[in-house]
């Protein structure tokens, strides 16, 4: 085996080189504003389809980064996404990340109302935080709830919408894109069926790492 790399940093650097080469071979031109997010997502998944399916509202990355520097609360729809977001990067900037999916009161609400825990968790977060960002990597019902909240007057700081699956997934993503464009909310959405908590965390980390690079 050739080209054995001895450190994680070296492995990541080589991976990004290969991804850049792969984008060129596929004649995929990604705007510079979005490139590190797309590359980090491909690095997380080994799936070049994200170069086409990731949708960015106008100036999404720069607007999200601006909000992150103000320490906004970040709400995830899985503990897996929560654990995947770089705690070191968050600690440097000040934002706190939360997941309420395992809260007993959320489970009780979902049973009482015949909804999902993700639906109730995002609703609860909107009542607890006047300003919050929402990161969904699993539950389309979380995006459906965000659409409802925006119609009711709530304004998320930003939205990462990348749930994975087959039931209501594509539809919920298209609806969240429409809502975010209507209310001028910065968003990054993985169109289609693909996504996941690892993708959600990867997108967040790409943005956090960009801030770290600027500050170093």
Summarised one tens digit per residue, pLDDT across range 124-156 is 999 999 999 999 999 999 999 999 999 999 999
Do the domain assignments include residue 112?
Answer: yes
Distance CA 122, CA 182 (A): 20
Mean pLDDT, to the nearest integer, of 7-30?
A: 92
Residue 7, pLDDT score? 84
pLDDT tens string 157-200? 999 999 999 999 999 999 999 999 999 999 999 999 999 999 99
Residue 213: pLDDT band with limits 50, 70, 90:
confident
pLDDT of 52 strictly over 80: yes
| Look-up of token digits 């949708």 | 55
Query: Would you say residue 66 lies in a domain?
Result: yes
Please say if the pLDDT value at position 60 is more than 90.
yes
pLDDT at 74: 97
Tell whether 186 is covered by a domain. yes
Does residue 128 fall inside a structural domain? yes
CATH number of the domain residue 178 falls in: 3.40.50.10230
Q: Which helix (H) or strand (E) holds 188?
A: strand 187-190
3 pLDDT band (50/70/90 cuts)?
low
What is the tally of structural domains in the chain? 1
CA-wise closest residue to 208 among 75, 94, 90, 71 = 90
State pLDDT tens for residues 103-126: 999 999 999 999 999 999 999 999
Q: Cβ distance 185 to 72 under 8 Å?
A: no
Summarised one tens digit per residue, pLDDT across range 85-100 is: 999 989 888 889 999 9
Query: Phi, psi (5° rounding) for residue 92?
Result: -70, -35
pLDDT at 2 over 80: no
* Tokens representing residue 165 in the block: 């699956």
| CA distances to 18, 104, 172 from 11, in Å | 11, 41, 36
Q: Is residue 2 situated within a structural domain?
A: no
Please, where are the H alpha helices in the chain?
8-25, 32-45, 50-53, 60-68, 79-84, 87-93, 104-113, 117-128, 140-151, 169-183, 197-215
* List 40, 43, 194, 210, catalytic entry: 43
Confidence of residue 66 (pLDDT cuts 50, 70, 90): very high
Average pLDDT value for the chain: 94
Whether 1 is covered by a domain: the verdict is no
Q: Could you tell me if residue 3 is inside a domain?
A: no
Altogether, the residues listed in the chain come to a count of 216
**Percent of the chain at pLDDT above 70?**
96
**What average pLDDT does range 19-39 have in this prediction?**
95
What average pLDDT does the segment 5-24 reach? 89
Domain extent for 146: 8-215
Q: Quick check: is 143 in a domain? A: yes
What is residue 180's predicted lDDT score, i.e. its pLDDT?
98
- For this structure, is 43 an active site residue? yes
Sheet with 73-76, side-by-side order of all strands: 54-56, 187-190, 159-161, 132-136, 73-76, 97-99
């Amino acid at each position: 085996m050739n080209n054995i790399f001895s450190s994680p940093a070296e492995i990541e650097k080589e991976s990004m080189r290969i991804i850049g080469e792969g984008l060129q071979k596929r004649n995929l031109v990604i705007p510079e504003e979005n490139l590190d997010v797309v590359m980090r997502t491909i690095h997380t998944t080994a799936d070049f389809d994200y170069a086409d399916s990731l949708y960015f509202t106008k100036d999404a990355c720069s607007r999200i980064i601006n909000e992150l520097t103000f320490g906004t609360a970040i709400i995830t729809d899985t503990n897996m996404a929560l654990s995947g977001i770089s705690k070191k990067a968050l600690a440097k900037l000040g934002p706190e990340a939360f997941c309420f999916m395992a809260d007993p009161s959320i489970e009780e609400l979902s049973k009482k109302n015949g909804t999902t825990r993700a639906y109730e968790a995002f609703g609860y977060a909107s009542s607890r935080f006047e300003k919050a960002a929402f990161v969904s990597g699993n539950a389309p019902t979380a995006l459906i709830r965000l659409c409802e909240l925006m119609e009711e007057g709530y304004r998320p700081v930003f939205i990462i919408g990348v749930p994975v699956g087959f039931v209501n997934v594509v539809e919920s993503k298209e609806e969240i894109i429409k809502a975010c464009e209507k209310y001028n909310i910065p968003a990054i959405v993985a169109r289609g069926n693909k996504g996941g908590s690892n993708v959600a965390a990867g997108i967040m980390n790409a943005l956090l790492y960009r801030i770290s690079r600027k500050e170093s």
